[in-house]
Amino acid sequence: MTDSRKKFKELDRGFYDFKNLFEYSDISDKGLNAKIINELSDKKNEPDWMRQRRLKSLEIFEKTPNPSWGPDLSELDINDITTYVKPKSSKKSNWEDLPDDIRDTFDRLGIPKAEQESLAGVGAQYDSEEVYHSIQGYLKDQGVIYTDFDTALKEHEDIVKEYFQKAIPPTLHKYAALHGAVWSGGSLVYIPKGVKVDIPLQSYYRLNAPGAGQFEHTMIVVEEGAYVHFIEGCSAPRYNVVNLHAGSVEIFVKKNAAMRFSTIENWSRNMYNLNTKRALVDENGKVEWISGSFGSKVSMLYPTSVLRGENARSEYTGITFAGDGQYIDNGCSAIHLAKNTYSTALTKSITQGSGKSMTRSLVQMTKNADGSRSTVDCENLMLDEQSKSDTIPVLDIRNSNVDVGHEAKIGSIDQAQIFYLMSRGISKDEAKSMIVRGFAEPIAKELPVEYAVEMNNLIDMELEGANG
């Protein structure tokens, strides 16, 4: 067994590192075995088919090795992780009904305010269970379903059973299997045929427990001709023990439907972020990914679009920041299974200090992808001579009648620009910040305003941490 009680790189993350007393109403034993899985399924009063899915996923997890590429995961020992922590609150539909400490946490994060000003529905998860959920009545009247995943399994079992693990099977990789075994919390979003949800829905996941994992399951089904924008937020305070995030996002975009998925993953530097996101897109459907990955000690995340219908489209825009002691291994994939499909990806990474960034992109053109097109643009900015940044593109082309392009740029911050700004009376640190924010601007403009502000704040925190 590894000893995860070690000192992690300190960085002042302001109110994001605010933590409550570690309290709970129920908690699993550390580690993972069939007994823990059965106890979890019993507590949730699940149907037998879900229990069997969990146990099968556990079997796959135990037989599957860690990936032999990418970051070193040897420090992450499942025997040191608590996989289920139930907070001392049941799910509420009024913020005032939550315990003071939990409500205060989400107030600091700005979730209730955002709900009032710009959201059509909100879910808030604390450790392993949702503690708050709401949706505007007019959406319910149109048949929109937006609820926590445990409730969905009870009240909409037919939908959950039809789609669960269809986009992300437990055989995909070791931590997809782990998720299938111990998932808890998350959201179901179901948009009926032809319904356009004009105001975003948002779920926020807060992990407060030290030495624990968070394994929320998000399932989004957008029926024919429908539209939705879903926003995901994640954060956790800093501890000196390893925490783990291995959530799952399964998206199903039907014929002529579209959806946008925006996220800022804002973890502390004791977190291993091994999340999985995957969309299946049908004829004339479209999925947009807007992604920011910040803060974790190690991140491995590659949102994937499976374009299985003719004229299906995907667009990915993402940014990462790797500071001292961080290894951010991110990117995206587009798998073209049908004719005239189109994908585009813009990835940006920023590194400084001992930070390491690895950007991976996969474009696969199958024999059935006649007339399909794809463009990938990777831009990496290194802020000093110590940081490392690499790009690994994979172009798997099995059809001669396709158009695929890839461009990668890796460079350091322009000292001439720094000098010019300083000559105009701007300090060196602020000049550096301005250049970095300019580099990130294409991603910021695609995010909702409050998330663009959060992203810029996180970048400033990283830069201030490096500047001392």
Contacts of 422 (CB under 8 A, 6+ apart): 428, 431
CB 226 within 8 A of CB 194: yes
Secondary structure percentages of the chain, helix, strand, coil, to 5? 25, 35, 35
Copy the structure tokens of residue 124: 């808030």
Read off the pLDDT of each residue in 350-362 and give the average, rounded to a whole number: 94
Q: What is the pLDDT at residue 421?
A: 83
Instruction: Count each helix (H run) and each strand (E run) in the chain, helices first.
Output: 11, 25
Beta pairing, strands 298-301 & 271-273:
parallel
Q: What is the pLDDT at residue 225?
A: 98
For residue 441, the one-letter residue type is E
Minimal CA–CA distance to 280: which of 359, 201, 166? 166
The full 3-state SS of 358-392, as one line of letters, equals: EEEEEEEECCCCCCCEEEEEEEEEECCCCCEEEEE
pLDDT digits (tens, 9 = 90+) for 378-411: 999 999 889 999 999 999 999 999 999 999 888 8
Read off the pLDDT of each residue in 345-374 and give the average, rounded to a whole number: 96
Q: What is the pLDDT at residue 5?
A: 42
Minimal CA–CA distance to 68: which of 177, 182, 176, 173? 173
**Confidence bin at 466 (pLDDT 50/70/90):** low
Q: What is the pLDDT at residue 15?
A: 57
Q: What is the pLDDT at residue 414?
A: 79
**Phi/psi class of residue 351: alpha, beta or left (left: φ > 0; alpha: ψ in -120 to 50)?**
beta
Q: What is the pLDDT at residue 17?
A: 66
Q: What is the pLDDT at residue 467?
A: 55
Query: Which letter, b or e, does each residue of 285-304 get, where b requires 16 or more Cβ atoms within 10 Å of its Cβ?
Result: bbbbbbbbbbbbbbbbbbbb
CB atoms within 10 A of CB 445: 10
C-alpha torsion 31→32→34→37, nearest 10 = 100
For the cut 60, the answer to whether the pLDDT of residue 325 exceeds it is yes
Q: Could you tell me which residue, 421 or 187, shows the higher pLDDT? A: 187
Q: Give the angle subtended at the CA of 436 by the CAs of 390 and 447, to the nearest 5°.
A: 90
pLDDT digits (tens, 9 = 90+) for 162-204: 999 999 999 999 999 999 999 999 999 999 999 999 899 999 9
Range list of H helices, 253-394: none
Q: What is the pLDDT at residue 429?
A: 82
Q: What is the pLDDT at residue 4?
A: 42
The string of DSSP letters for 133-189 reads: EEE-HHHHHTT-EEEEHHHHHHH-HHHHHHHTTTSS-TTS-HHHHHHHHH---EEEE
CB atoms within 10 A of CB 189: 24
pLDDT digits (tens, 9 = 90+) for 61-73: 999 999 999 999 9
**Confidence bin at 468 (pLDDT 50/70/90):** very low
pLDDT digits (tens, 9 = 90+) for 231-275: 999 988 888 899 999 999 999 999 999 999 999 888 888 999 999
Contacts of 17 (CB under 8 A, 6+ apart): 237, 238, 268
The chain-wide mean pLDDT, for the chain, equals: 91
Residue 206's DSSP bridge partners are: 126, 235
Burial of 419 (0-12, 13-18, 19+ CB in 10 A): exposed
For the cut 50, the answer to whether the pLDDT of residue 3 exceeds it is no
Burial of 370 (0-12, 13-18, 19+ CB in 10 A): middle
Q: Could you tell me which residue, 227 or 118, shows the higher pLDDT? A: 227
For residues 452 and 211, give the distance between their C-alpha atoms in angstroms, rounded to a whole number: 30
pLDDT digits (tens, 9 = 90+) for 434-459: 888 888 888 888 887 777 888 888 88
Copy the structure tokens of residue 453: 């502000």
Q: What is the pLDDT at residue 2?
A: 43
Which of 48-57's residues contact partners 24+ apart within 8 Å by CB, and which partners?
49/161, 50/153, 50/164, 53/164, 53/165, 53/170, 53/180, 54/180, 54/181, 54/182, 54/183, 55/181, 56/170, 56/180, 57/170, 57/177, 57/178, 57/179, 57/180, 57/181
Place of tokens 């601007």: 441
Helix (H, G, I), strand (E, B) or coil at 426: coil
For the cut 80, the answer to whether the pLDDT of residue 6 exceeds it is no
For residues 448 and 374, give the distance between their C-alpha atoms in angstroms, rounded to a whole number: 26
Helix (H, G, I), strand (E, B) or coil at 20: coil
